[in-house]
Amino acid sequence: SEVDDEAAARLTQDGMVTFVGAKSGEVSRVVWRPGSTLAESALSARVQIGLKGVELLRAGQRVLTANSREAPAVAVASGDVVRVLD
């Protein structure tokens, strides 16, 4: 079952960046560091940003949808949930 916005938002954790596979539901977390980008966090989490890109949820709201070219440079914040469009 696909992970919707509400389910993804419940995965938020202070001080962490959480990645979740939109279809797989697989969850991976890394410690958030000030100034870190989505690419750096994904690398730490051993998550591959697929060709379909990502959706970023912050404070329970979808704030960004980015394709695989745009996504790496996106700045992440503490508590962000990144839904990987797998």
Residue 57, φ and ψ in degrees, nearest 5: -110, 130
Whether the CB-CB separation of 8 and 83 falls below 8 Å is answered with yes
Query: Which residue intervals of the chain are DSSP H helices?
Result: 5-9, 38-45
pLDDT band (50, 70, 90) for residue 7: confident
Q: Residue holding tokens 């690419």?
A: 39
Per-residue tokens: 84: 């990987």
pTM of the full structure: 0.91
What pLDDT was estimated at residue 1? 55
Quote the distance between the C-alpha of residue 61 and its chain's center: 12
Length of the chain (residues): 86
